A and B are shown apart, each in its own frame.
Chain A
């Protein structure tokens, strides 16, 4: 899978490229709109990650041109603007998805993978980690065969964490996924829910599955041996 990142901020581009290469993607970098256009004309890409504020040729204009020449190329827009109007405009211009800066890298990876899969994400009906089992159909959670009663928000948090075992989800990601943006940063609501979740899911058992990564967020992981 080959990706092109068109982003004028060198450091941000390199950081994203490094992370994506670690996820086994081939990544090219272009520093402005014209260079990006040249790359797209020259090579075949599976995904375009596009900043909107670019020198020489703006991202919005590049997006419009790409939509003409390569209508099926998935485009993920990175933007520092998050006004709803802008979002609507970007979708109209042909973006498949967008991420607002500052974003979590984990979020970027999730979005990139979703876009590359192209077809709707395959959803396992039953998620399992060690002896913890979550059934998406019945919305029931069992550990060691024992039924655990969760409130809907607790269930939402656990389901989100278990959807990608081992990945660290930031509080912002959890908030946006389980609640909505109104709660962003205002409260320690996520911490409170994770604490209640732990009380029900982890405390009665010797092996802890929900982990805190300080400054980053939470993850569900099978073993405690890994760092953090």
Chain B
């Protein structure tokens, strides 16, 4: 789980908010209920007390204790109602005390009598688990203290139940809210995932593909629509620049044909001094370079647009490169370079044979050009689990580390002297890369100054 994700943070926020709300409401409920029940109990005690007051007030002066007890028991039935009743006369002491209640929640004998001074108006006190209200009254038969009580146990049990219920519900509810929130946000963001996946797979070549537009009509829908608009503009500008490159190199071809043809005919047919002949020859050499450059640009623009894969076949790169090396062997030997292409393991890939050969020619040509006399250029094949690769290793001058990321850029030169001297156009390696991209191959370079370079063409192994 990603701890910084929107879904996770929202879920945590939900959980905290819900816990706080729950705690607040729970506390309120707990104490509110206690207050309500206790005041209800106090009311009931006061009513009973009033009844007893009435009995005592109505009693004659010489009333016997037995008569009082009988009246109280008839009217109140304290034991049956789980109440505590005690009546004490100031002169003679205890008149009546209720027995053990039906639910045995307290022991009436254990409740200590309230000492003087007796309260004239009702007071409430608490003894153990019993709530008690006491009132003193003066009657014809003397001064009495009426004490009434009831157990708080049922209220406390109820509160404990409530607490337990809250304690059980809280974690479950919070977990539901947090989990639900997490899933909901994940679900809500899934369209964004889908958009980003489509965007990832999208190529600028594929003019018609669009990101999915959500039917939700909200910010996400607007996002996908804006992304599509941006994509459209991006594609347009890429297309424009590619079309320009293709058109420009295309348009250069006809004038080049005329220039080359006219000059060649002049050289062939006219009589002229050796100096003039050489100068025209020099111009023709530049025309040839220009021609090479233009055809390189055309190849690149065509690869940019994406070539048809109609001519793709299975090609054994090992065999193709060994054959190519044979064709270039004399050139290598001419420069005193040992070209090694020992029997290689087959590296069979699916692709355009002519284009793949161009890759090998360009890489071998570079290796031979940048390796000093006496050096070695070695072809190798590596077959791994997930990829198969062709390696072209040389013992040449190497490429500076700072230049490595740029060597596949168009017209990039490590230094002026290096490529110009050989008439390189600065497009060879970018053509190599474009062809590799078209074949979904990776190209890796290791290089060390003075020790040599190794170019590795990695093709995914087909399932």
Is A192 a contact of B268 with CB atoms below 8 Å?
no
Is B365 a contact of A186 with CB atoms below 8 Å?
yes
What is the minimal beta-carbon distance from A28 to any residue of chain B, in angstroms?
Answer: 19
A4 and B327 alpha carbons, distance in the complex (Å): 40
- Set of chain B residues within 8 Å of A187, measured between Cβ atoms: 328, 331, 361, 365, 368
Confirm or deny: B338 has a beta carbon within 8 angstroms of a beta carbon on chain A: no
Confirm or deny: A85 has a beta carbon within 8 angstroms of a beta carbon on chain B: yes
- Set of chain A residues within 8 Å of B298, measured between Cβ atoms: 82
Is A215 a contact of B354 with CB atoms below 8 Å?
no
Is B261 a contact of A192 with CB atoms below 8 Å?
no
Is A179 a contact of B268 with CB atoms below 8 Å?
no
Is B254 a contact of A101 with CB atoms below 8 Å?
yes
- Set of chain A residues within 8 Å of B265, measured between Cβ atoms: 15, 18-19, 105
Encode contact with A along B248-272: 1 for CB under 8 Å, 0 otherwise: 0010011111101111110111111
Partner of A192, one of B269, B283, B284, B330: B330
Q: Which of B283-318 contact A (CB under 8 A)?
A: 283-285, 287-289, 291-292, 294-296, 298, 302, 307-308, 310-311
Q: Which of A151-194 contact B (CB under 8 A)?
A: 151, 153, 168, 170-172, 179-189, 192-193
Is A12 a contact of B258 with CB atoms below 8 Å?
yes
Is A182 a contact of B357 with CB atoms below 8 Å?
yes
Confirm or deny: B428 has a beta carbon within 8 angstroms of a beta carbon on chain A: yes
- Set of chain A residues within 8 Å of B362, measured between Cβ atoms: 186
Known: A185-B288, A185-B292. A15 touches B254 (CB 8 A): no
Confirm or deny: B334 has a beta carbon within 8 angstroms of a beta carbon on chain A: yes
Confirm or deny: B154 has a beta carbon within 8 angstroms of a beta carbon on chain A: no
Is B264 a contact of A80 with CB atoms below 8 Å?
no
Is B288 a contact of A104 with CB atoms below 8 Å?
no
Q: Size range of the interface on B? A: 35 or more
- Whose C-beta in chain B lies nearest to the C-beta of A11? B258
Is A180 a contact of B357 with CB atoms below 8 Å?
yes
Is B253 a contact of A101 with CB atoms below 8 Å?
yes
Q: Which of B336-382 contact A (CB under 8 A)?
A: 354, 357-358, 360-362, 365, 368
A11 and B327 alpha carbons, distance in the complex (Å): 38
Confirm or deny: A16 has a beta carbon within 8 angstroms of a beta carbon on chain B: yes
- Set of chain B residues within 8 Å of A214, measured between Cβ atoms: 267, 277-278, 280-282, 284-285
Is B257 a contact of A102 with CB atoms below 8 Å?
yes
Is A193 a contact of B428 with CB atoms below 8 Å?
no
Encode contact with B along A58-94: 1 for CB under 8 Å, 0 otherwise: 0000000000000000000000111111000000000
Is A182 a contact of B361 with CB atoms below 8 Å?
yes
What is the minimal beta-carbon distance from A118 to any residue of chain B, in angstroms?
Answer: 26
Is A186 a contact of B361 with CB atoms below 8 Å?
yes
Confirm or deny: A1 has a beta carbon within 8 angstroms of a beta carbon on chain B: no
- Set of chain B residues within 8 Å of A11, measured between Cβ atoms: 255, 258
A183 and B288 alpha carbons, distance in the complex (Å): 14
What is the minimal beta-carbon distance from A149 to any residue of chain B, in angstroms?
Answer: 14
Known: A12-B258, A101-B257. A81 touches B264 (CB 8 A): no
- Set of chain B residues within 8 Å of A84, measured between Cβ atoms: 311
Residue from A81, A168, A172, A189 whose CB has the most chain B CB atoms within 10 Å: A189
Partner of B354, one of A103, A104, A151, A181: A181
Confirm or deny: A213 has a beta carbon within 8 angstroms of a beta carbon on chain B: yes
Task: Supply 14 A–B pairs (Cβ within 8 Å), ascending by A.
Answer: A12-B254, A12-B261, A80-B250, A81-B250, A102-B256, A104-B261, A182-B354, A185-B289, A186-B361, A192-B334, A214-B267, A215-B287, A216-B267, A227-B271
10 interchain residue pairs of minimum CB distance: A215-B284, A214-B281, A185-B292, A215-B281, A102-B257, A101-B253, A102-B256, A182-B357, A80-B253, A182-B358
A-side interface residues toward B, CB under 8 Å?
9, 11-12, 15-16, 18-19, 22, 80-85, 101-106, 151, 153, 168, 170-172, 179-189, 192-193, 195-196, 213-216, 227-228
